[in-house]
Structure 1
Amino acid sequence: MNRFDIKDFSYERTLNEDPNTRSITLLGSFSSSLIENERDPAIIRIEKTALPAFSDGLISSVSCIDNTDIYTWLFGWLNQSEDRPDVKINIVCPATEVHVRKYSKQQLCIFRETPLIYERIVKPYIDAFPASRTQWVRDIISGRSEAEKILFRSTSDIDGFLILPDMKWDLTTISSLYLVAITLSSDIKSLRDLQKQHIPLLKAIQRESSTVVKKRWGLDANQLRLFVHYQPSYYHFHVHIVNVNHTGFVGMVVGQAHLLDDIISLLELDLPDELSIFQRMTLTYGLGEQHGLFKPMLAARADRLVPGEDTE
């Protein structure tokens, strides 16, 4: 049930505009539902929905921009349709300063995270991550929210997981299909925590994702891209499940996205009694300047905690 009247949104400033995803993110406020005459800070992200398959009557009118030889450019307007919205709107309210930084346009910088840097800087950051930031995940796992959206739930509390549509998907356009598998246990925070013993869990996610998507949407396993983010947006292990043709998603860039197939293969190379490969390897990725790790990682670079100079 929608508790926000979009007409009540009071615009303050634009946080980001992304022509690649055809989206805009705005900062503003809504009337508070708790305190009379007060307003809660809010973030609205508006993105164009995917174009539907062409059909007669889809385009209502056009206007010519220009033409030359065999080429013509037109502006076009689609017919309004109750079952085909023009935009998808995501609302975060009340929004914190952390949310504002997350959704603001950011300059990126590439960092190399050695095991030493992970232990000294990144792991303490992850361990200190506020529980409130993942309360929505626990609400999903417990069934307090989005219970009707669950597509699959395993019975194991230790190696269990569930699969549901990601909030970024419009639930309609198969070419942009986007699901997420979330582990029931919070023991695995990130890619760094994965060990050989987790291979059955990862293969089960791989298997059940394929089964769910094939049964509901008719896509084969080789039409899916399964990957894990590092750094992730929240520290409760989850796997992204996306139509392989959906290439416009920013989170699939090199460095941040690690294919689940590759993760499993690397873990299979580990010997039983040694540290996991993800505890031993250096990971390279980009961070935005508003990320909580950005300044500590810059400081680590200045302190020369870089590959080749680790002494411990």
Structure 2
Amino acid sequence: MSHPAAPTSFDALKAFSFERILNEDPFTHSIILLGTFPVPGNLSERVKAVVRIERTILNADQGVRLLGDPGLLTRIKLEQSTDIYTWLFGWLGEERAGDVKVNIICPATETHINKASYLKQEHVLVHETPELYEKIVKPYIAAFPPSRTQWVENILTGLSEKDKILFNSPDFLILPDMKWDLKTVTSLYLIAIVQDRSIRSLRDLRRRHIPLLQSIRREAARVVGEKWGLGKGSLRMYIHYQPSYYHFHVHMVNANYQGNILGMAVGQAYILDDVISLLELDPEDGPGIYERMTLTYGLGDQHELFKALTESQSGEVKENKRPYV
């Protein structure tokens, strides 16, 4: 069940009160806004909200109808024309459904607002040793209240998004990620969420989890093959570290998808195949490889871990005042 202030209608969406721009990305044609929505029944109370507005991607069916007479373009404006190059602005007609996709987090906590993909911030590469994980990161993860992942529990227990589930088993389920428009196959974006609540992040994976990860890989390939006709090697499957929420999940996108560059970047995305291969090197007993590894990843200066990791250092700070963790 959604929060009472979460807008589910056009009139409710228009009640948004803008505060500031968190970020803008010309590559994905998206802008992220911070503001508030009123609480129904108590209009004097407003709650924070993060709103991401993104231009949707043209699909192949629309592409063949964009130009010509009649076409989807209803108006154009000449920007410039020189030699062989011409630049135009165009407006799409009423037939085009969903020119923008709007994602809303309401109520939004400071952690949501400071999330790397929402708030524009400087990033540094940090080197998280097993000791730093045990001392700083693990307690940070353990301190997260269950309410922060209640939406995940609602999906796993069938209270929400039941109609979107593409695969369901006692171990995990697969469904579309909310960032996907559910139509454009070239930007296909699915997610697998595991039922095992003890796996919070990449650090918790052990050799015994290999069958689970292999099953996710196998079933995801089967689903996209049967439903969208995508063949072997068509999916890029990866795990985030640090993730945006601490309930283990695997991202799966079309291998040709070029959006969400930050989310697929080296230093955040760990390829599922590589993770499985590393786990195969785990000993039968004793510490696992992800217990023993130093993990290097990008961390924004607004992330809650940034300050803690900085304060843990012995004083090695670069001239730009950014820590080399």
Q: Structure 2 length as normaliser, TM-score?
A: 0.88
SS class of match (1:27): strand
| Count of aligned residue pairs for this structure pair | 299
Which residue pairs with 2:78 in the alignment?
64
CA apart distance, 1:95? 2.0
Identity %: 57
One-letter identity of the residue aligned with 1:49: T
Residue equivalent to 2:156: 141
Cα distance in 1 between the residues matched to 2:90 and 2:135 = 55
Report the Cα offset of residue 3 of structure 1. Answer: 4.8
Q: What's the secondary structure of 2:95's corresponding residue?
A: coil
Within the candidate set 120, 127, 134, 2:135 is matched to 120
Aligned to 1:95: 108
Deviation at 1:150, TM superposition (A): 0.8
Cα distance in 2 for partners of 1:197, 1:203 equals 11
Contact 2:76 2:89 in 1 (8 A): yes
Q: Residues 230-269 of structure 1: matches in 2 within 5 Å?
A: 230-249=241-260, 250-269=262-281
1:122-156 C-alpha deviation (Å, 9 max, x unpaired): 111111112111010001001111111111111x3
> Which digits, 9 at most, give the CA deviation of each residue in 1:197-216, with x for residues without a partner?
00000000000001111111
Find the partner of 2:44 among 37, 51, 73: 37
Shift of the alpha carbon at 1:301?
Answer: 2.8
Contact persistence 2:72–2:95 (CA under 8 A):
no
One-letter code of the match for 1:85? Answer: G
The letter of the residue matching 1:229 is: H
Q: Distance in 2 between matches of 1:18 and 1:113?
A: 29
Describe the SS at the equivalent of 1:37: strand
The SS at the match of 1:8 is coil
User: 1:106: Cα distance to partner?
Assistant: 1.2
Q: Does 1:288 align with 2:295?
A: no
* Other-structure match for 1:169: 180
Deviation at 1:41, TM superposition (A): 2.1
For 1:55 and 1:242, the matched residues in 2 are separated by: 25
Structure 1: state its 5+ residue gaps.
305-312
Q: What value does the CA root-mean-square deviation take over the aligned residues?
A: 1.6
Partner of 1:2: 8
Determine the structure 1 residue equivalent to 2:87. 73
Tell me whether 36-45 or 10-19 shows the greater mean CA deviation. 36-45
The offset of 1:101, in angstroms, is: 2.0
**SS in structure 2 opposite 1:221?**
coil
TM-score with structure 1 length normalisation?
Answer: 0.92
List gaps (5 residues or longer) in structure 2.
Answer: 1-6, 66-70, 317-325
SS in 1 for 2:14: helix
Q: Against the structure 1 CA distance between its residues 104 and 111, is the aligned structure 2 distance closer, same or farther, given a 3 Å change threshold?
A: same
Runs of 4+ in 1 over 6 A off after TM superposition: none
The Cα offsets for residues 187-236 of structure 1, whole Å up to 9 and x where unpaired, read as 10111110110000000000000111111111113110000000000111
Specify which of 179, 188, 210 is matched with residue 221 of structure 2.
Answer: 210
Select the residue among 183, 186, 194 that pairs with 2:197. Answer: 186
Task: Give the aligned residue type for 1:55.
Answer: V
Tell me by how many angstroms 1:247 deviates.
1.9
Change (3 A) 1:3 1:60: closer
Distance 1:279 1:97, change over 3 A: same
**Greater Cα offset, 268-277 or 29-38:** 29-38
